[in-house]
């Protein structure tokens, strides 16, 4: 899927109230170059794409967030707008068997409820992009998780840290339930959160401490599509270009949130010390 460069170029000029010539001068290119791209006579090269979106972002034009609002307003009834951050681009149709088996909930196509989170997760990759997604949940079965013991242990299993307990009846039941659905709605667990879960699995903290530590680092919800029936009701609306300035912006927000989250984790570990059960008590 290509970027909607031509329309974005027109929108950015309209918002700024400037001509092709004026924008061309700002970007350091010839007017004919912008004219051909705007009229879809030629495809823009990577340098021009970066130059336009970086310029717009520095001018405080959040073009991708504006498009998010417009798509949200025009969704069909019962549909929802989701976001997917890609390290490069999505090739071909959505495939629920494409993802890594050691993701939070195993293989599946992952999307999130927040544009900001989608971008922040891929902000370290130069060719990353963000996809706006239309999802129709009608007729599908969902499995919903909250920040609790079930969620923690399910993620630990799929991430490969509960191998010694994989034959335990409780674990088998958890995994069975995680697959008796078309898609999953669950809190996102990034690597920082997984380190906290791992502390629980290794017996360093109780499930109660772990739960409150994780609640302190809330990153929003993820949607994991695991059946072909669910992926058939996922539609890629638009691929959005993420400039270097935008990636840095959201990375900075994430870094600041991480610092606050770390402080909350320390407080939660102390506040809930001695409460709950350790992993060997749960799986004795």
Q: Structural domain boundaries of the chain?
A: 1-61, 77-282
Rg (CA), the chain: 22
User: Would you state the pLDDT for residue 72?
Assistant: 94
Q: Which two tokens stand for residue 163?
A: 């191998």
Our measurement of the distance from residue 24's CA atom to the centroid of its chain's CA atoms, rounded to an integer in Å, reads 34
- Per-residue pLDDT, 259: 67
**Mean pLDDT of successive 10-residue segments in the chain (284 residues)?**
92 94 94 92 93 95 95 94 91 81 88 90 87 97 93 91 89 94 90 82 88 74 94 95 92 73 76 88 86
- The runs of H, that is alpha helices, within the chain are 5-16, 20-27, 31-38, 46-58, 63-73, 115-121, 149-158, 169-179, 191-201, 207-215, 228-231, 244-271, 279-282
pLDDT for 65: 94
CATH of domain 1-61: 1.10.260.40
**Beta strand 142-144 with 221-225: parallel, antiparallel or unpaired?**
unpaired
Q: What SS3 class is residue 105?
A: coil
Give me the pLDDT at residue 270, please: 82
Retrieve residue 149's tokens: 């013991």
DSSP 3-state of 64: helix
* Predicted pLDDT of residue 125: 85
Dihedral sign for Cα 114, 115, 120, 125, please.
positive
- What pLDDT does 218 receive? 62
């Amino acid at each position: 899927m290509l970027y909607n460069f031509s329309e974005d170029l027109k929108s950015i000029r309209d918002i700024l109230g400037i001509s092709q010539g004026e924008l061309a001068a700002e970007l350091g290119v010839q007017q004919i170059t912008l004219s051909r791209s705007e009229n879809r006579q030629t495809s823009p090269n990577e340098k021009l794409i970066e130059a336009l979106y970086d310029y717009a972002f520095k001018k405080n034009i959040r073009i991708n967030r504006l498009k998010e609002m417009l798509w949200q307003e025009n969704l069909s009834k019962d549909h929802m707008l989701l976001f997917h951050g890609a390290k490069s681009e999505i090739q071909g149709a959505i495939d629920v068997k494409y993802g890594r088996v050691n993701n939070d909930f195993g293989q599946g196509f992952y999307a999130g409820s927040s544009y900001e989170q989608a971008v922040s997760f891929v902000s370290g990759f130069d060719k990353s992009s963000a996809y706006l997604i239309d999802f129709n949940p009608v007729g599908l079965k969902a499995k919903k998780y909250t920040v609790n013991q079930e969620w923690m242990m399910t993620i630990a299993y799929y991430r490969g840290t509960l191998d010694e307990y994989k034959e335990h009846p409780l674990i088998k039941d958890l995994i069975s339930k995680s697959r008796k659905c078309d898609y999953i709605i669950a809190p996102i667990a990034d690597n920082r959160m997984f380190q906290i879960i791992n502390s629980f699995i290794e017996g360093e903290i109780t499930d109660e401490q772990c739960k409150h530590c994780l609640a302190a680092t809330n990153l929003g919800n993820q949607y994991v599509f695991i059946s072909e029936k669910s992926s058939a009701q996922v539609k890629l609306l638009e691929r959005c270009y993420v400039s270097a300035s935008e990636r840095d912006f959201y990375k900075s927000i994430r870094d600041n949130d991480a610092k606050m989250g770390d402080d909350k984790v320390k407080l939660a570990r102390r506040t809930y010390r001695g409460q709950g059960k350790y992993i060997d008590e749960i799986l004795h």
